[in-house]
Structure 1
């Protein structure tokens, strides 16, 4: 058993990870989850032995092969598993690894570490750049793997099918949950329900104490007012005892107020609970579509040079639908989205359609403009509503005034998606919007798409995301289009 105990990781004086105790046993399949920059890769490096700048105890009893994220060379002597390669999908064998695409590279790296089914593995984002077919095959392969697997991922299907336990990194702390994704969600909802009840009880106690303190202060004020009025009056001997009694009463009430204030100050702080409520979009009448079916394709054929991508396909997209186009890499999904956006031949688009398009791989030029200013540039929604959308996309209050140019690629993508949703449009096109998004942000995007008042057309290799958002699903395969939902 490998044990991590009382681990603390600090980088440049900033706490990155805090671990009370974690255990790794034979046969474990552990998903490491957390937001972008939360320390997932640092934790994997620490377990592997590539990171030594920590305090605490690491009792390492297992050796691992490590598939690193964005690795430029395989860096190990294992033989390539050609049987695995043949099943996960065609991989051109270039003379240089640098000539391979991102998807081809990840398949080659996976074939290298999966040569032996009893090897202990650490995998950092193993489904990156894999299409649905390849991801499904990888899931089945890892499910049958006999060695330990510790992996980071943003793919919930992988977590649900593989993980025996989950390590969640939140606010630098690592907490363990037993089971896969659905089990984690159930446990998390129970935790939040308990926390909500606790917060409610604390709030009720706070209000009761505040009311009691106010009542005591009112009583004290009344006695003080009576004392002031009688201050200059002559007090006869018969009333002297009564005056002393009032003075004692004032002191007693003051002591009671101090006691109540002490209890109020000792109340536990209410803990924040992540807001996962759906957002209700305000109605913008000027963006209403004048057609029930704003997009119609009839006998559409798309070629790339001499190659036919799509051959004589037809489809309709109704107003308000959330339509997903899915398929393996190279089947023409992005090309089809571009064709729709550009109102290509054989596609009929209603005259008052206003597109908002988030293209794959988009990034910002260096711009000296704050996030909130950028989001407010072209929107018809209120400031408060814009802030709600930005929060669903994983931004905090402290991010609103930050300049876009300092954001990471993942943060920039989140900003682009949020502002595209807020831009006046009635058809939103998203090409692989889940790339670089962590799971919590992805779930926020799901809520936004479900409640977006217009039509959404998108592609994604994330099966869970597609299932949770799409009302219609078309599959592209063999130059044809088939509706599967």
Structure 2
């Protein structure tokens, strides 16, 4: 269908492609992968005819049609309804509909046999093109992508860029081109919509090329993986998981070939060095010199799977209870987000908050952070300190700082060597650390902001879509960092691979309440599927019973009394002790909270100049203040000892 032969394309002196070749077959589903900046989007634009190659050829079959979804479509606006915009895909049918309407209008004033015959011909063609079903098809696809029935007749310009992108995707899907090219299609989709697009692509009758950093989306939609690396297009006959296995096998073969060749080169060079001055050996020496010159050098394998070797620590240990909502309600006018919801999280909980867009996930994060007012009670636990990451916070980076200066601002106690280590974990090395923030790409800024979050020494993280704009390598680094992180966090994400690897509990919003599933995302999906729900995260069906306890060995929460964190069972005696100590901790935390309130009240009284006119009252207040401080210190020390005892009993 499309043949790419000896393709070359240069950006200045840098070759994005140099002698690259690829054949795209009908009905083939290709995942185009590679690090950011390797030229994936550029290749799609060359196939689409927007860019011209510097060398080689891209040939297409005469009947090949191309549909291209790219990020430029975010800026498209129109006063037409989204249904009308989507139905622009049916160009011929729309022309015929206009003709039918005109003929019917003319027949009202001039009814003739000629007009009747013309109408019959136009209607026959319209019917042959399924013209009478195009509106229902458009409605089905738009609703599959998350639009409500009421949304269909709203003007496109009223929707945000992400929702406009969905409309353009719907239009492309309705056109059914021979080759459908999707550049990061999941960036602006929620989980239900991603799963809907997956099923659509799986059954799509034409060929598809997908550029995506969503591993699970690729695994579920493609049958071929093409890696852009070193200016070439490397072909793998399988999905992304197959690619990973096959790539490792190829790398092993290449490592062996590289090491053998290097050994041969060293041996040859030693021979040349030893005998170059001997006339009797000149022929052999010259022969080996020529052999080295002609040798096709095997490249050393570059390990693209960066490992995080930095331990992200925090200085203050939180209490058992990290966060709690009691009878919390939140609404924007008539739109109810939460209604009398109760939820709590404990130390060590790694929570993924999932669900469809518009359910209020980001609102819940702001409620937890205390920046969104609610009806009801919001409580942070003892010694809990949190930090919040969201995409809009990239704007808070100081564009005049270099990377070292920006991280130093987040944690002044770290040395430059330690900061370089952190930046190295996030793929910034060498002189990169002295780049100004203002010259960084969106993905690079995201990595800097995430590094700042993990350096903040907060023991509770709130992360809103942290994988947006990150390539697969960067997502892998973030996964490793969060797996090593010893605190608690709540993450909002639509990346299922990411969620599966970082969460031990799932929160979802249903019936305006936050509900909890006590297991991993994979187990949650199985639980939902078993109950006959059509979508793992659509929350459209009513679940009549609470989630059962997980049977397949989920990651335990920190407060588990049944088994130790090292996997060994807790004895009955230790379990009783643990229960007793945890009760003491709860009582002590309440006492500490009261003492801190009294301490603050007493400090306020001592700050009042009038108290210094009454020596007796001042003396009594000073005595009371000293007593409160002493009790607070003793209580805090006891609390710390009890926390150590809990860790010991839990087998940490």
User: Which TM bucket (shorter chain)?
Assistant: 0.7 to 0.9
Mapped contact 1:166–1:184 kept (Cα < 8 A) = yes
Aligned twin of 2:406: 374
Aligned twin of 1:474: 507
Deviations along 1:64-110, whole A, 9 cap, x unmatched?
Answer: 12222231337994137222112332252465423212332122112
Aligned twin of 2:571: none
Q: Does 1:281 align with 2:311?
A: yes
Provide the secondary structure at the position in 1 that maps to 2:358.
coil
1:201 and 1:282 map into 2 onto residues whose CA distance is 40
Aligned twin of 1:450: 483
| Structure 1 residues 361 and 172, CA gap change in structure 2 (3 angstroms) | farther
1:54 and 1:34 map into 2 onto residues whose CA distance is 21
Mapped contact 1:48–1:63 kept (Cα < 8 A) = no
1:127 and 1:97 map into 2 onto residues whose CA distance is 20
The structural deviation recorded for 1:440 is 1.6
Aligned twin of 1:50: 50
The structural deviation recorded for 1:476 is 1.5
Aligned twin of 1:408: 441
Provide the secondary structure at the position in 2 that maps to 1:405.
helix
Mapped contact 2:312–2:481 kept (Cα < 8 A) = no
Provide the secondary structure at the position in 1 that maps to 2:51.
coil
TM-score where L is the length of structure 2: 0.62
Moved more, 30-39 or 397-406: 30-39
The structural deviation recorded for 1:478 is 3.1
Deviations along 1:451-470, whole A, 9 cap, x unmatched?
Answer: 11221211001112111111
After superposition, residues 63-462 of structure 1 pair within 5 angstroms as: 63-71=65-73, 72-73=75-76, 77-79=88-90, 81-91=138-148, 92-93=151-152, 96-117=155-176, 119-197=178-256, 270-281=300-311, 283-284=313-314, 286-289=315-318, 291-342=319-370, 345-364=376-395, 367-379=399-411, 380-381=413-414, 383-462=416-495
Moved more, 341-350 or 414-423: 341-350
RMSD of Structure 2 on Structure 1 (CA) = 3.3
1:352 and 1:160 map into 2 onto residues whose CA distance is 42
Mapped contact 2:226–2:233 kept (Cα < 8 A) = yes
* Runs of 5+ unmatched residues, structure 1: 218-247
The structural deviation recorded for 1:323 is 1.0
| Structure 1 residues 436 and 269, CA gap change in structure 2 (3 angstroms) | closer
Number of residue pairs the alignment of both structures matches: 445
2:52 and 2:432 map into 1 onto residues whose CA distance is 32
| Structure 1 residues 67 and 269, CA gap change in structure 2 (3 angstroms) | closer
Moved more, 75-84 or 262-271: 262-271
1:453 and 1:207 map into 2 onto residues whose CA distance is 47
1:54 and 1:269 map into 2 onto residues whose CA distance is 25
The structural deviation recorded for 1:407 is 0.9
| Structure 1 residues 452 and 302, CA gap change in structure 2 (3 angstroms) | same
Mapped contact 1:378–1:424 kept (Cα < 8 A) = no
Provide the secondary structure at the position in 1 that maps to 2:391.
coil
The structural deviation recorded for 1:166 is 1.5
* Runs of 5+ unmatched residues, structure 2: 77-84, 91-134, 520-652
| Structure 1 residues 199 and 475, CA gap change in structure 2 (3 angstroms) | farther
Aligned twin of 2:5: 5
Q: Indicate the structure (1 or 2) with the bigger Cα radius of gyration.
A: 2
Greater fraction of residues in strand:
1
Greater fraction of residues in helix:
2
The structural deviation recorded for 1:387 is 3.2
| Structure 1 residues 11 and 277, CA gap change in structure 2 (3 angstroms) | closer
2:407 and 2:250 map into 1 onto residues whose CA distance is 34
Deviations along 1:358-390, whole A, 9 cap, x unmatched?
Answer: 123222356222112222333345544533433
Aligned twin of 1:38: 38
Larger RCO, structures 1/2 (Cα 8 Å, 6+ apart): 1
2:400 and 2:232 map into 1 onto residues whose CA distance is 34
Provide the secondary structure at the position in 2 that maps to 1:296.
strand
The structural deviation recorded for 1:295 is 1.6
| Structure 1 residues 144 and 306, CA gap change in structure 2 (3 angstroms) | same
Mapped contact 2:343–2:515 kept (Cα < 8 A) = no
Deviations along 1:13-46, whole A, 9 cap, x unmatched?
Answer: 4322234310100111111122333212110011
| Structure 1 residues 288 and 23, CA gap change in structure 2 (3 angstroms) | same
Aligned twin of 1:242: none
The structural deviation recorded for 1:200 is 6.0
| Structure 1 residues 193 and 473, CA gap change in structure 2 (3 angstroms) | farther
The structural deviation recorded for 1:276 is 3.4
1:264 and 1:381 map into 2 onto residues whose CA distance is 49
The structural deviation recorded for 1:417 is 0.8
1:21 and 1:405 map into 2 onto residues whose CA distance is 36
Provide the secondary structure at the position in 2 that maps to 1:361.
helix
Mapped contact 1:281–1:453 kept (Cα < 8 A) = no
1:448 and 1:373 map into 2 onto residues whose CA distance is 21
